[in-house]
Amino acid sequence: MIPEFALCYEDRLAAELRNAGVPVHMLRKTRASRPLTVLRARRRLRALLIERRFDVVVCHSAWPHAMFAPTCKRLGLPLVFWLHDSATGRTWEERLARWTPPDLTIANSRFTAQGIRTLYPDTPCAVFYSPVTPSTESGADCARAAVRQEFDTPLDACVIVQVSRMEPWKGHLLHLEALRELAIVPDWVCWMIGGAQRPFEEQYLQQLKDLASRYRISDRVRFLGSRSDVYRLLAAADIFCQPNIGAEPFGIVFVEALLSRLPVVSTAIGGVREIVDSSCGILVEPDSPPALARALRTLIEDNALRRRLGSGGPRRARQLTDPRSQMGRLADLFAELPRPRVGGAVQCEPAESPG
């Protein structure tokens, strides 16, 4: 498979795709509230599909499907709807997307698949865990020491790390409440990685810092901001903890933590339940600071348990997200789709690549 992407906006996604060597085609800025922009973008997409003769078109989630699926259907191209978040069928994008049933739906977890059924109950649905490539970052003692020195963290401390956007449903508040109960436990430090991007996130981040100060743990909680070297930081930590209070559709960061040989502590809701089992982590009931504190304390004080659960992480991650096996499965899913309709200007040959 050789994927190509059509995007409406020049943003971080476009830059990262180009840096990875993936062809990116710009359709111009598109707003549903401005029908002329939608019409122009659809015309550009139609011309692109005719020129490039793709085998498969994938719309990632409801908005692009609502905007562009009709164009693909009229050209007779096999159409896939790939859902990366939960769906209820009640938003305007989802209601509009319903008008164009795809040939196949893909969900990034069994949890997400439940939402797809509210949109397309009669369309085949495949659960497909996103491939995650293991890090090449070293966990050697010298690298670990350098990272800890950078963040004023003792080499012998037990480091708890959370990596997530600054949004309340990611469970930062629950995490801090649990850490408050562990204030009497010595030798732990918490790194919270993730930067605020929007005004409400700035307010939320300040709330977290104020709360850490009020709980008298601000000297043990480090807010590290946005980082591009997450794997390097994971390699220098001991426990990964992200206690979501809202359901995670899947959670690639949990897989990244497992690949970094970190035991994972989280809440038993959403897609995380499909990633973390007793071989690699501990799941606790949601909204329970005492339960979360008990799980963290157990791992802080039991180095052997940390090592055992950490050693099970890579194996569990490979079972779910091994790139070679997952990409092979994705190719098989696409191969089972109907062939593109031959006629007019669109004639897709077997050797052509899906886009």
Per-residue pLDDT of the chain (355 residues; tens, 9 = 90+): 889 999 999 998 999 999 999 999 999 899 999 999 999 999 999 999 999 999 999 999 999 999 999 999 999 999 999 999 999 999 999 999 999 999 999 999 999 999 999 999 999 999 999 999 988 776 777 789 999 999 999 999 999 999 999 999 999 999 999 999 999 999 999 999 999 989 999 999 999 999 999 999 999 999 999 998 999 999 999 999 999 999 999 999 999 999 999 999 999 999 999 999 999 999 999 989 999 999 999 999 999 999 999 999 999 999 999 999 999 999 999 999 988 764 332 222 333 333 3
The predicted structure's pLDDT at residue 1: 83
How far apart CA 52 and CA 49 sit, in angstroms, is 5
User: Over the chain, what HEC string results?
Assistant: CCCCEEECCCCHHHHHHHHCCCCEEECCCCCCCCHHHHHHHHHHHHHHHHHHCCCCEEEECHHHHHHHHHHHHHCCCCEEEEECCCCCCCCHHHHHHCCCCCCEEEECCHHHHHHHHHHCCCCCEEECCCCCCCCCCCCCHHHHHHHHHHCCCCCCCEEEEEECCCCHHHCHHHHHHHHHHCCCCCCEEEEEECCCCCHHHHHHHHHHHHHHHHCCCCCCEEEEECCCCHHHHHHCCCEEEECCCCCCCCCHHHHHHHHCCCCEEEECCHHHHHCCCCCCEEEECCCCHHHHHHHHHHHHHCHHHHHHHHHHHHHHHHHHHCHHHHHHHHHHHHHCCCCCCCECCECCCCCCCCC
The predicted structure's pLDDT at residue 341: 63
Same-fold call for 5-131+322-335 versus 141-320 = yes
The predicted structure's pLDDT at residue 141: 73
How far apart CA 183 and CA 185 sit, in angstroms, is 5
Q: Where are the domains of the chain?
A: 5-131+322-335, 141-320
The predicted structure's pLDDT at residue 229: 93
pTM: 0.90
Domain 141-320: which CATH number of 1.10.10.10, 2.120.10.70, 3.40.50.920, 3.40.50.2000 = 3.40.50.2000
Top-tier CATH class for 5-131+322-335: alpha beta
